[in-house]
Amino acid sequence: MDAVLEIENIEVVYNKTVQVLRGLSLTVPRGAIVALLGSNGAGKSTTLKSVSGLLALEDGEVTAGDIRFKGQSLKNRPPEKLVREGLFHVMEGRRVFEDLTVEENLVAATYALSGREDARSRGYELVYDYFPRLRERRRQLAGYLSGGEQQMLALGRALIARPELIMLDEPSLGLAPLLVEEIFEIVARINREQGTAILLVEQNAAVSLAIASYGYIMENGKIVIDGPAEKLTANEDVREFYLGVGGQDGEARSYREIKHYKRRKRWLS
């Protein structure tokens, strides 16, 4: 298979003491949307930081395994180089420059690409085509945008780089359901029209599996279940604990209400 990203059996330790990832493997095929799901503290963001190199900033280290981007190992690769090579990490929490306008945020995004002669000529039209709201607000300070608009801007900054792979960390966090749907539809369109592969980290399994072709669910630093999105959506445990439907008593419920030990027991038995 032609993979853009291969994570093979990695272990990650923070502060030389706390092991967070325990033999995690996943693959993102070129041009695909892959969902990485799991509850709070499972290690989703740590997985993305391991790929983009941001782990080092938090005194974290990949102590075993390998990560390959377009077939090449990412070991010892400086993070700033990766953006130019086509890998973009949209961090948790909509990191935008609040004191800059929307358009200045996009300008700043092109600085990271200096040295790639085609960066500027593309302009920002592509971003505004996907996010018309950003066009309307191009002269507004990013700090005054709504949460959803800030998420759009964070995505727009990724788009400027025309990456082959975008890693998105919880784009739905704190947004109203309708806005989440709007943003996920645009993510699916970007994938379809630009051919950009997406590794989508989410707690919101329902909307993620709706646009992904494949999904992984992680618990406690490793993958506990994975499969084609439609199979996961039909899986009884996934439905009960991650999609909030079904269950033994037939009542809709959120996985948040379910005790951790119960999930583990059912998946590991």
Ligand X SMILES: Nc1ncnc2c1ncn2[C@@H]1O[C@H](COP(=O)(O)OP(=O)(O)OP(=O)(O)O)[C@@H](O)[C@H]1O
Write the DSSP string, 97-151.
Answer: -TTSBHHHHHHHHHHTTTT-TTTTTT-SHHHHHH-HHHHHTTTSBGGGS-HHHHH
Q: CB under 6 A: which stretch of 35-43, 143-151, 174-182, 248-256 binds ligand X?
A: 35-43
23: three-class secondary structure by DSSP: strand
**Which partner from the list Mg ion, ligand X, none does 41 bind, CB cut-off 5 to 8 Å by kind?**
ligand X
Say whether residue 52 binds Mg ion (CB under 5 A).
no
Question: Which CB atom, from 19 or from 72, has the smaller least distance to ligand X?
Answer: 19
Q: CB under 5 A: which stretch of 42-50, 67-75, 80-88, 133-141 binds Mg ion?
A: 42-50
Q: Which of residues 53-92 bind ligand X (CB under 6 A)?
A: 58, 60, 92
Please name the helix (run of DSSP H) or strand (run of DSSP E) that holds residue 63, with its range, or none. strand 60-69
**Which partner from the list ligand X, Mg ion, none does 46 bind, CB cut-off 5 to 8 Å by kind?**
ligand X
Q: Smallest gap, in angstroms, from Cβ of residue 123 to ligand X?
A: 34
Q: Which of 167, 169, 171 is nearest to 148 (CA)?
A: 171
Q: How many residues bind ligand X (CB under 6 A)?
A: 16
Q: Which of 39, 35, 93 is nearest to 203 (CA)?
A: 39
Parallel/antiparallel/unpaired status of strands 33-37 and 214-219: parallel
Q: How many residues bind Mg ion (CB under 5 A)?
A: 2
Say whether residue 101 binds Mg ion (CB under 5 A).
no
Question: Which CB atom, from 3 or from 54, has the smaller least distance to ligand X?
Answer: 54
One-letter-per-residue 3-state SS of 237-269: HHHHHCCCCCCCCCCCCCHHHCCHHHHHHHHHC
Please name the helix (run of DSSP H) or strand (run of DSSP E) that holds residue 84, with its range, or none. helix 79-85
Q: Which of 4, 37, 45, 163 binds ligand X (CB under 6 A)?
A: 45
Q: Under the rule (CB under 6 A), what is the footprint of ligand X? A: 14-15, 18, 20, 38, 40-46, 58, 60, 92, 203
